[in-house]
Amino acid sequence: MALTDKQRLGRQGEDAALAHLRGHGLHLLERNFLCKGGEIDLVMRDGAQLVFVEVRRRADRRHGGAAASITPPKQRRMVHAAQLFLLRYRRLPPCRFDVVAIDGGELTWLRNVLEL
């Protein structure tokens, strides 16, 4: 099935985020973890810590930018998906939620964006 332009841009954003995070020593565990009620773009490992990464891409910052597009309902879906992902583990590892925001061509990595 062919990707839409929006899907293609989203994939390019995820590719850029993945390359950036790998360049900082993180390791990919899973890409596009889907579950009922949520999705996680990238699940990565940073040392012993699991990192759930949301990637957002916007053409510019006119309407608050990519990071501002992560609304409270989106945050709840991220947490829900992470909880389901963590069911794989007998002992819960330390975790955090990061955002990679791409506004135009500028990539910003925001660490530990959600407090649980």
Q: Write the secondary structure of 97-115 as one string of H (helix), E (strand) and C (coil).
A: EEEEEEECCEEEEECCCCC
Q: Which CATH architecture has domain 5-110?
A: 3-Layer(aba) Sandwich (3.40)
- Other beta carbons within 10 angstroms of residue 16's beta carbon come to 16
Q: What is the pLDDT of residues 44-93, one digit of tens each?
A: 999 999 999 999 988 767 767 787 888 889 999 999 999 999 999 999 99
Q: What is the pLDDT of residues 82-92, one digit of tens each?
A: 999 999 999 99
Q: Has residue 110 got a pLDDT over 90?
A: yes
